[in-house]
Amino acid sequence: MQRMLRAAFAALWFMILTLPVLGISLNTVEHSVVWRWDRILGLGAGIFALAMLWDWCFARKAAGRPVLPLPGGFGLGFALEALRSRPGLRRCALAVLAVVMLLMPVAGSFYQTNIMISALLYVMLALGLNIVVGLAGQLVLGYVAFYAIGAYAYGLLNQFLGWGFWACLPVGGLLAVLFGFGLGFPVLRLRGDYLAIVTLGFGEIVRLTLQNWTSVTGGPRGISDIPRPGLFGVSMDIAASTTYIYYLVLVAVVITIVVISRLKNSRVGLALQALREDEIACEAMGVDITRVKLSAFALGSCWAGFAGVIFAAKTTYINPSSFTFMESAMILSMVVLGGMGSIVGVVIAAFILILAPEYLRAFSDYRMLLFGAIMVVMMLFRPQGLISGERRRYHISALHGQGGRP
């Protein structure tokens, strides 16, 4: 009962709060006002339900139980557990997934292939950002700058020097790494939140440079007629070359996943995770913070550079408005939703966040609204993400009398 009262009060509060912006519709031409009471009442009802849910969630949180019983819910937890414990099943599932992904452009339409390409590009970006944010715990808000650098590297090298896609792919990655170093050096000393703001500033500076340096970058008009990637001089129509790009991105994503999962438990990867947990303790343990931070920046930005080159080749047209802060925020919300440091989680989250708005059209207007809400809700109720990143555990063999790692 008390809970209902509280919820009713919250609903009333939000109805008053949103009255001006949501409730008033002003027509400046006809000089009239429309009061949108329907919206306000709808919102009130929604808030009432949400407030009940909110209370329930906090009650659970206070009781120490997980709030969102994911991945336990939806049978997902069961499935994951089965996959984890039975390697045979895991191999089967991977094989099915591989076949589905391989047949995708054959079975699906041109439109669907295009959507899958951009979803895969975001997977790549999210995994790259996951190295910096998830593994190393350095919140970078200007990640899209490296993506832009990759894209413009291809666009400009092609326009001025006539370089092809395959020559530009490594160059784009390398340039992004160089910029990553360039950003990394000055910000080494900064703490978490200052670092976030500086990288945000860096991202905006890169975008504004691209926008204002009209003589080189074409300014807001951008660069058009970027060639699609070639395949030993075979000429392809748009459909064929889209399919080709799809496979290219697929391979790139697989490589990314393999590299990052190998990286995670390597010497560098463990150092990154130590850095995330406690910077000072990490330094005290003899880890060279400078080197680790720089390698995090370099590794993270490298993938964005590659993704940028592929993006330019896919769209054949780039301009600065593709590289705004909102893109960075979107990639960040994938990492946050998926679970910082978790590869599977981030891949799933990237797919959900890109594909859901594409296939549920009614929902696509509310896309950014939901991204914002997801970031808040995840932080409040499930900071480890949908699928939390696994930690490698050690058992001390002398105590248990048997093998080291389980």
Residues within the interface to other proteins (CB under 8 A): 13-14, 16-18, 20-22, 24, 26, 28, 31-33, 39, 58, 137, 139, 141, 186-187, 189-194, 196-198, 200-202, 204-205, 208-209, 212, 280, 325-326, 329, 332-333, 336, 365-366, 368-369, 371-376, 379-380, 383
Decide whether 168 or 340 has the Cβ nearer to other proteins: 340
Decide whether 127 or 195 has the Cβ nearer to other proteins: 195
Rounded to a whole number of angstroms, the minimum distance from the CB of residue 221 to other proteins is: 15
Decide whether 121 or 204 has the Cβ nearer to other proteins: 204
User: What secondary structure does DSSP assign to 339-361, as a single string?
Assistant: -TT-HHHHHHHHHHHHHHHHH-G
Task: Kindly report the backbone phi and psi dihedral angles of residue 79, in degrees, each rounded to the nearest multiple of 5, phi listed first.
Answer: -60, -45
Relative to beta strand 24-27, strand 32-35 is antiparallel
Decide whether 205 or 239 has the Cβ nearer to other proteins: 205
Decide whether 16 or 89 has the Cβ nearer to other proteins: 16
Decide whether 310 or 334 has the Cβ nearer to other proteins: 334
Rounded to a whole number of angstroms, the minimum distance from the CB of residue 400 to other proteins is: 32
Name the residue with tokens 């969102």. 68
Decide whether 141 or 248 has the Cβ nearer to other proteins: 141
Decide whether 57 or 70 has the Cβ nearer to other proteins: 57
> Which residue stretches of 130-164 are H helix?
144-156
Q: Which uninterrupted H or E stretch holds 27?
A: strand 24-27
Task: Kindly report the backbone phi and psi dihedral angles of residue 26, in degrees, each rounded to the nearest multiple of 5, phi listed first.
Answer: -105, 130
Rounded to a whole number of angstroms, the minimum distance from the CB of residue 273 to other proteins is: 14
The CA angle 397-399-404, to the nearest 5 degrees, is: 15
Decide whether 32 or 235 has the Cβ nearer to other proteins: 32
Give the pair of three-digit tokens for residue 179: 């910029």
Q: Give the CA distances from residue 206 to residues 151, 177, 229, 257, 329, in Å, rounded to whole numbers and listed in that order.
A: 12, 15, 26, 28, 16
Q: Which residues of 143-160 are buried (b: 16+ CB within 10 A; e: fewer)?
A: bbbbbbbbbbbbbbbbbe
Rounded to a whole number of angstroms, the minimum distance from the CB of residue 190 to other proteins is: 6
Decide whether 128 or 204 has the Cβ nearer to other proteins: 204
Q: Give the CA distances from residue 93 to residues 82, 100, 388, in Å, rounded to whole numbers and listed in that order.
A: 11, 11, 20
Rounded to a whole number of angstroms, the minimum distance from the CB of residue 171 to other proteins is: 26
Q: Which uninterrupted H or E stretch holds 115?
A: helix 110-129
CA distance 218 to 210: 8
One-letter amino acid at 45 equals: A
Rounded to a whole number of angstroms, the minimum distance from the CB of residue 370 to other proteins is: 9
- E-strand ranges in 124-199 read none
CA distance 38 to 401: 69
The widest CA-to-CA distance across the chain, in whole angstroms, is 84
What angle do the packed helices 37-62 and 367-381 form, to 10 degrees?
20
Rounded to a whole number of angstroms, the minimum distance from the CB of residue 197 to other proteins is: 7
Rounded to a whole number of angstroms, the minimum distance from the CB of residue 230 to other proteins is: 37
Instruction: Say if residues 350 and 126 touch (Cβ distance below 8 Å).
Output: yes
Rounded to a whole number of angstroms, the minimum distance from the CB of residue 264 to other proteins is: 20
Rounded to a whole number of angstroms, the minimum distance from the CB of residue 344 to other proteins is: 21
